A and B are shown apart, each in its own frame.
Chain A
Amino acid sequence: MTELQLRARVAQRGLDVEFSVAAGEVLAVIGPNGAGKSTTIAVIAGLLRADDAVVRVGNRTLTDTSRGVCVPVHDRRIGVLMQDPLLFPHLTAIANVMFAARRHADRSGARLRARRWLAEVGADDLADRTPGALSGGQAQLVALARALAAEPEVLLLDEPLAGLDVAGATAARSVLRRVLTADSRTALLITHDLIDVLTLADRVLVLEEGKVVEVGRVSEVLTAPRSDFGARIAGVNLVRGRMTGPGTLRDAAGVNWHGTPAEDSASLHECVAVFAPAGVAVYRDQPHGSPRNSVRVRIAGLEINGGVVRVRAAAQSDGAVGLSADVTPESVAEMRLQVGDEVWFTVKTQAVGIHSAARSDVGLR
Chain B
Amino acid sequence: MRPIRAPGGSLPRWVYLPAALGAIFVALPLVGIIAKVDWSRFIPLVMSPASRAALLLSLQTATVSTLLCLVLGVPLALVLARHRGRLARVVRPLILLPLVLPPVVGGLALLYVFGRLGLLGHYLEAAGLRIAFTTAAVVLAQTFVSLPFLVIALEGTARTAGSRYDEVAATLGARPSTVWWRVTLPLLAPGLLAGTVLAFARALGEFGATLTFAGSRQGVTRTLPLEIYLQREGDPEAAVALSVLLIGIAAVVVVGLGGRRIAGWGAG
A24 within 8 A of B: no
Interface size band for A: 20 to 34
B175 within 8 A of A: yes
A47 within 8 A of B: yes
Contact B187 A74 (CB under 8 A): no
Contact B187 A99 (CB under 8 A): no
**How far is it, in angstroms, between the C-alpha of A152 and the C-alpha of B182 when the chains are bound?**
21
Chain A residues whose C-beta falls within 8 Å of the C-beta of B183 in the assembled complex: 88
Q: How many A-B residue pairs have CB under 8 A?
A: 54
Taking CB atoms and an 8 Å cut-off, the chain B residues in 158-190 that contact chain A are 164-165, 167-176, 182-183, 186-187, 189
Q: How many residues of B contact A (CB 8 A)?
A: 17
Chain B residues whose C-beta falls within 8 Å of the C-beta of A149 in the assembled complex: 172
Taking CB atoms and an 8 Å cut-off, the chain A residues in 53-98 that contact chain B are 72-80, 82, 84, 86, 88-90
Contact B182 A45 (CB under 8 A): no
Name A82's closest neighbour in chain B (CB-CB).
B168
Chain B residues whose C-beta falls within 8 Å of the C-beta of A178 in the assembled complex: none
Contact A99 B171 (CB under 8 A): no
**How far is it, in angstroms, between the C-alpha of A235 and the C-alpha of B173 when the chains are bound?**
41
A150 within 8 A of B: yes
A146 within 8 A of B: yes
Q: Given A86-B168, A88-B165, is A77 in contact with B187 using a C-beta cutoff of 8 Å?
A: no
Q: Given A74-B174, A74-B176, A90-B186, is A99 in contact with B169 using a C-beta cutoff of 8 Å?
A: yes
Chain A nearest CB from B119 CB (Å) reads 39
Contact B168 A77 (CB under 8 A): no
Chain B residues whose C-beta falls within 8 Å of the C-beta of A78 in the assembled complex: 171
Partner of A47 from the list B167, B172, B174, B186 (CB cut-off 8 Å) is B167
Contact B182 A80 (CB under 8 A): no
Chain B residues whose C-beta falls within 8 Å of the C-beta of A224 in the assembled complex: none
Chain B nearest CB from A89 CB (Å) reads 7
Q: Given A73-B167, A86-B164, A99-B182, is A147 in contact with B172 using a C-beta cutoff of 8 Å?
A: yes
Q: Given A88-B183, A90-B186, A99-B182, is A146 in contact with B165 using a C-beta cutoff of 8 Å?
A: no
Name A97's closest neighbour in chain B (CB-CB).
B172
Chain A residues whose C-beta falls within 8 Å of the C-beta of B186 in the assembled complex: 88, 90
Contact B165 A99 (CB under 8 A): no
A100 within 8 A of B: yes
Contact A150 B173 (CB under 8 A): yes
Most buried by B among A84, A99, A147: A99
Chain B residues whose C-beta falls within 8 Å of the C-beta of A269 in the assembled complex: none
Chain A residues whose C-beta falls within 8 Å of the C-beta of B167 in the assembled complex: 47, 73
Taking CB atoms and an 8 Å cut-off, the chain B residues in 73-100 that contact chain A are none
Chain A residues whose C-beta falls within 8 Å of the C-beta of B165 in the assembled complex: 86, 88
Contact B189 A150 (CB under 8 A): no
Chain A residues whose C-beta falls within 8 Å of the C-beta of B175 in the assembled complex: 74
Name A146's closest neighbour in chain B (CB-CB).
B172
Chain A nearest CB from B264 CB (Å) reads 16
Name A152's closest neighbour in chain B (CB-CB).
B171
A103 within 8 A of B: yes
Q: Given A47-B167, A99-B182, is A89 in contact with B187 using a C-beta cutoff of 8 Å?
A: yes
Chain B residues whose C-beta falls within 8 Å of the C-beta of A80 in the assembled complex: 168, 171
Partner of A150 from the list B164, B172, B176 (CB cut-off 8 Å) is B172
Partner of B187 from the list A72, A73, A90, A100 (CB cut-off 8 Å) is A90
Chain A nearest CB from B161 CB (Å) reads 10
Chain A residues whose C-beta falls within 8 Å of the C-beta of B170 in the assembled complex: 47, 72-74
Interface residues as binary, B104-126 with A (CB distance below 8 Å gives 1, 0 otherwise): 00000000000000000000000
A residues in contact (CB < 8 Å) with B = 45, 47, 72-80, 82, 84, 86, 88-90, 99-100, 103, 146-147, 149-150, 152
The 10 closest A-B pairs by CB, nearest first: A73-B170, A100-B172, A103-B173, A80-B171, A150-B172, A90-B186, A86-B168, A74-B170, A150-B173, A74-B173
